[in-house]
Structure 1
């Protein structure tokens, strides 16, 4: 008689042959967490209903950590169920990011606290001058943990954008529901963040050890400032991939080394595709993203822009085996500066579902190509996604500006993306690497006009400009000087402690 567990073990070993667990652990900074069952979530209304239902069934604890919680019908639905749980005696803890929730009024949090919910704002504005850049480090995680048995991790914030309005379609996003031992580790991650804000929390230590509920290995990738775990993982999968790397990213402004890693994989025949929103809710980020297209396209990477209202997902799927789902965007803020949370998964079923979802999204996308470049033939995708758009707009400058206005009218705004697309070429020309083309000359002229305007203002109002420069320079000098002194005092204290310990030994 065939033992199902033996089959699962054999399948796991075959999968790990291409992605060894030891290598995954080194890249992600996470131990291999086996025995899990995962469920893909990608539609706002059904995802939120699943989360609300899960919270209502929780018996031991509820942890909720999210960058953005709005005071709208979605945010209030979660507030109501959290209040109900707290009043029933279940410990409920909530972490929200102070910057992400800047528009959420204080009145939203008051009923939660009155009901006994423990609520903390992450990294609020402080008058302290020890770290001048501390305000830039945000808690960008999206996490819910229930009883240490179930965890939800992904890109969904708690707002009406993800379910839509009568006049505004819902945003597209992705998350996973984790059942099994990895959920308890996710609880540890929440508790570490909570303790980092000055209060102790260790409810997960009181939970019983969970038995395996599935056969899927999981790695919990805990992003922290200065810890480049997702960054390392991207480089690792780019080097490991043999067939394809398909990435969906909402705010794709990849560091140069990431672009080079993906480009190197494409040059060796790997099918590298990147799906980004055509209509970014942060237009400047969309423009910066387009500024990096050219080098990727020249390396053979294929780039698609999703034509829906906004795609907010942060996923990657490699060779139909390895997947990553979470909160990390491929930009420096997420990869290096923020607290993020992603899940690495080695499972053909989940990877297959993500690939199907990716191909479905491509059917609502336009591929970006360089001038004169032909549409590539590769893994079959829906015919409706075969439309292409040249990276360089054609026509004179007035004609291009009219095109910008026409495109912007469809979304109710004017986008400056076509003027930023030559950022890479402009940088190379200023460095003396190569001459610039028409688009680069246009951008160079615009930048020159801005610089000259600034010089004229400074000439007519030197006192004001000088005062502003002195204020900013003084603030940076004061804060960095105090930080240097505090660090020096701390180092001397540690040295004295080390000497004392050595003498005692």
Structure 2
């Protein structure tokens, strides 16, 4: 028995060493590639102007270019009269980040109630002076570390990965864009603007998070409820502290219903077994299943973990489209010309069962038509990965994929 246990321990130790070595090599190679590529202001990818559709008494606008989005967000903050709720996973100390900081401070100085949330871990590299605000701005810093980790209370350790802006409870924004200059022109992402009564969904998401995590000195935010019920629009929120993960269930339900097409765009695509099976079942019954992912993302380990699923997906009839020329960071899907989602959650474990996330679900043909148009436009910047090409990859690539499999639950 002791011999078997020793063998198991040796096997685990050797595999752990291999994981560290493979991960280190991949990151070194990726760092060298980035240095060779250098930094450039010229990033070209197909994009559309903001497009809009009515949904009941509200209007939905979709943004696929950061500069258009940030101009709209800053204009809303500049025109705020009563309150600004701003939540961002990453908020960089660069030209655009400084503009956002100046506008929220200016709003607070003219009497607007301003509440800001950012994730401390995601902004560790941002200098501390940038993260200081005057007392007129109420700031919640979602902590980077909690001692609950030592007691394995994982549900109390989730990152705040959400991106929400709500102004005067009349206009709201949600989607994949963080705040930073590179995101304005160099990344391909998707964000949604909601104007009208449906803004309540995003405001309620912000208020609930603030009230659940505020410190004693911070004010409680009041939400008076919503008199308009619109079943076609819902802001689903993952809340690990409550073990609540509706975004994953939303995806599974929608994919299972698909009869024509499932078009997904993901920055980091590491599906769990249930989502993988749902996609393969859909493709097996003749549904056109396509997934756009970056050919090379900003996280090399995520790329390699994602590639570990390509063989199953390609053999099962799922089309994998590799985005060229820019980092595609969108977290979106559109199904059957009726159902769509735009939000902050990636299809990976961290987003679907680990982090605080928010995804808008929209069941409307007009919005789905906009999403289809965006997906088709993005397809012009992709190349399709074929099973023949994938099957001919080098043995060392196959070895690396196999070694890294234990990291899937962590990412």
TM range (shorter): 0.7 to 0.9
Matches of 2:111 and 2:391, distance apart in 1:
60
Question: Paired residues, what number?
Answer: 346
* CA–CA separation in structure 2 for the residues paired with 1:272 and 1:154: 22
CA distance in structure 2 between the aligned counterparts of 1:307 and 1:359, rounded to whole angstroms: 14
SS state at 1:246 partner: strand
Instruction: Say whether residues 1:141 and 2:156 are aligned partners.
Output: no
The partner residue of 1:222 within 231, 237, 253 is: 237
Partner in structure 1 of residue 109 of structure 2: 87
User: Which among 314, 327, 346 is matched to residue 310 of structure 1?
Assistant: 327
Alignment correspondent of 2:391:
392
Deviation sequence 1:38-72 (CA, Å, 0-9, x none): 11111000100000001111111100011110101
TM-score (norm 1): 0.65
1:286-343 C-alpha deviation (Å, 9 max, x unpaired): 1100111111111111111101220000000001111000001000111111110010
The answer to whether residue 221 in structure 2 is matched with residue 202 in structure 1 is yes
Conserved 8 A contact 1:262-1:272: yes
Give the gaps of 5 or more residues in structure 2.
1-54, 407-411
Q: Quick check: 1:249–1:330 contact (8 Å CA) kept in 2? A: yes
1:30 corresponding residue in structure 2? none
CA drift of 1:135 comes to 7.3
| Per-residue Cα deviation, 1:334-393 (whole angstroms, up to 9, x for no partner) | 11111100100112222111111111111111111212xxxxxxxxxxxxxxxxxx1134
Q: Aligned partners of 1:228, 1:132: CA distance in 2, in Å?
A: 16
Asked whether the equivalents of residues 279 and 318 of structure 2 are also in contact (C-alpha less than 8 Å), the reply is yes
Normalized per residue, which structure has more strand?
A: 2
Report the TM-score when normalising by structure 2.
0.79
Match of 1:276 among 293, 296, 302: 293
- The structure-2 alpha-carbon separation of the partners of 1:423 and 1:317, relative to structure 1 and needing over 3 Å to count, comes to farther
Higher share of residues assigned helix: 1
Whether contact under 8 Å (1:37, 1:216) holds in the other structure is: no
1:256 shift after superposition: 1.1
Q: CA RMSD in A?
A: 2.4
Is 2:79 aligned against 1:57?
A: yes
Equivalent-residue separation in structure 2 for 1:347 and 1:51 (angstroms): 25
Aligned residue number for residue 121 of structure 1: 141
Cα deviation digits, residues 266-289 of structure 1 (max 9, x gap): 000000100000111000001100
CA shift, 1:130, in A, is 4.6
Question: How far did 1:203 drift?
Answer: 3.9
Partner Cα distance (1:35, 1:338) in 2: 32
Q: Distance in 1 between matches of 2:402 and 2:117?
A: 40
The worse-fitting range, judged by mean Cα deviation, of 132-141 and 344-353 is 132-141
CA distance, structure 2, for counterparts of residue 292 and residue 151 of structure 1: 36
Aligned to 1:153: 174
Contact kept? 1:246, 1:273, Cα under 8 Å: yes
Residue 391 of structure 1: SS of its match in structure 2? helix
CA distance in 2, matches of 1:76, 1:94: 14
Consecutive unaligned residues in structure 1, runs of 5 or more: 1-32, 165-169, 372-389, 402-416, 428-505
Question: 5 Å matches for 1:140-289?
Answer: 140-164=161-185, 170-199=186-215, 200-205=219-224, 217-225=232-240, 226-289=243-306
Confirm or deny: 8 A CA contact 1:71 1:105 kept in the other structure. yes
